Amino acid sequence: MIWLTWRQHRLMIALVGAVLLGFAAWFLLLGNGMRGSLGPAELAECIGFGMDCGEWTSSLGLLNSLQTTLLPVLPALIGAFLGAPMLTREIEQRTFRYAWTQGVSREHWLFSKVFLLGGAIAVLSAVFSAAYMWFFQPAVPEWSWFDAFGMLLPSFPATCVFGFALGVLAGTVTKHLLVGMALSLVGFLALFLPVVAWLRPHYMSPMQLTVDEYYSGPRGWVTEFVYRSPAGEELDIFEALRASGISHAPNSFGSAETDQLSAAGYTQIMLVQPGSRFWTFQFVDAGVFLVLAAACIALTCWLLRRKAI
């Protein structure tokens, strides 16, 4: 089964590998070139901001654009183009019956495919993340590892495995390739975005630091800004402006308003996940996505046992 699975999916594995390993090679070449021509302070500033970096400005601008567009959805694309077709092609062409009539159980048929393709995805995405970590490392401690959280080990490989597993489930449910690919993309975003926006910042209770306290110590992940009133209430900026009677333009504010809040006795508080929690957050995040991946494969197995195809 392993050899058959490889023969069936080797082109898509090669394509995914070319993309992930191509990015990894680019990170290494870019990082090596920058290390050779920039001093430590310039290197940290360029990796963090990517502005006014001489010959590296255009490459860093491209990388920053990719970090806000393509790279975050790579796991979703892996699910759509490798996960969803894994079973739907065989379902549409009815070739799965050949394996089942050769004494191969449904579970063995499924798991042999999942372990080979999922393992390849895990290894390739781990190489991608390791290369990016090496590229980003000179920016620490001026910048926090949290600034590159979603690209790093082990969270990114776990997210890729989840995207793949969700694609397998979507293809099994729909039994049609294009519909399965679309459902995989939509389902990934529907689960991924809430984890990133709402769950991830609260894996542990954040520390509350004043601005001076934060900038006098190691960098971390600032999840939220609030204002503490003289009475001890914690308010967002607009609540604080209303409570203090400071006039401001609708849905906007500037340094003048924040200065007036300070004069009125309001203290700006930063809710921070310190850098020392980075690895804890990485492993918790990876665990969340691996549990979701396992649930997707378990549900796929249940559908196969029910002869849903």
Q: What percent of the chain has pLDDT over 70?
A: 93
Q: Measured between alpha carbons, how far is residue 152 from residues 65, 83, 84, 258 in Å?
A: 18, 22, 25, 35
Q: What is the pLDDT of residue 88?
A: 87
Which backbone phi and psi does 248 adopt, to 5 degrees?
-160, 160
Give me the DSSP letters along 111-139: HHHHHHHHHHHHHHHHHHHHHHHHHHGGG
Pairing relationship of beta strands 207-210 and 267-274 according to DSSP bridges: antiparallel
| Top-confidence residue, 63 or 92 | 63
Give the integer Cα–Cα distance in Å for 95 and 123.
28
The residue with tokens 């204002």 is 227
Quick check: 308 pLDDT over 60? no
- pLDDT-derived band of residue 50, with 50, 70 and 90 as boundaries? confident
pLDDT digits (tens, 9 = 90+) for 118-145: 999 999 999 999 999 999 999 998 889 9
Instruction: Average the pLDDT over 181-192 and give the result.
Output: 98
What token pair was written down for 11? 């082109």
Q: What percent of the chain has pLDDT over 90?
A: 67
The residue with tokens 């520390």 is 207
- pLDDT-derived band of residue 307, with 50, 70 and 90 as boundaries? low
Contacts of 71 (CB under 8 A, 6+ apart): 23, 151
Radius of gyration (C-alpha) of the chain in whole angstroms: 24
Q: What is the pLDDT of residue 90?
A: 79
Average per-residue pLDDT for the chain? 90
Q: What is the pLDDT of residue 255?
A: 78
Quick check: 100 pLDDT over 60? no
Q: What is the pLDDT of residue 268?
A: 92
Instruction: Average the pLDDT over 38-48 and give the result.
Output: 91
- At how many degrees (to 10) do helices 255-263 and 237-244 cross? 60
| Top-confidence residue, 107 or 187 | 187
Give the integer Cα–Cα distance in Å for 89 and 45.
48
Cα angle, residue 272 at apex, residues 266 and 278 outer, rounded to 5°: 175
What token pair was written down for 183? 């459902």
Give the integer Cα–Cα distance in Å for 253 and 42.
32
Q: What is the pLDDT of residue 110?
A: 87
Contacts of 258 (CB under 8 A, 6+ apart): 237, 268
Give me the DSSP letters along 187-250: HHHHHHHHIIIIIGGGSSPPEEEEHHHHHTS--EEEEEEEEE-TTS-EE-HHHHHHHHT----T
Quick check: 13 pLDDT over 80? yes
pLDDT digits (tens, 9 = 90+) for 154-177: 999 999 999 999 999 999 999 999
Contacts of 31 (CB under 8 A, 6+ apart): 134, 135, 138
Quick check: 59 pLDDT over 90? yes
- Residue 208's beta-bridge partner residues? 271
pLDDT digits (tens, 9 = 90+) for 222-237: 999 999 999 888 998 8
Q: What is the pLDDT of residue 112?
A: 87
Which backbone phi and psi does 228 adopt, to 5 degrees?
-100, 120
Q: What is the pLDDT of residue 195?
A: 97
Give the largest Cα separation in the chain, rounded: 80
Cα angle, residue 136 at apex, residues 131 and 138 outer, rounded to 5°: 125
Locate the domains of the chain by residue range: 9-33+75-203+282-305, 207-275
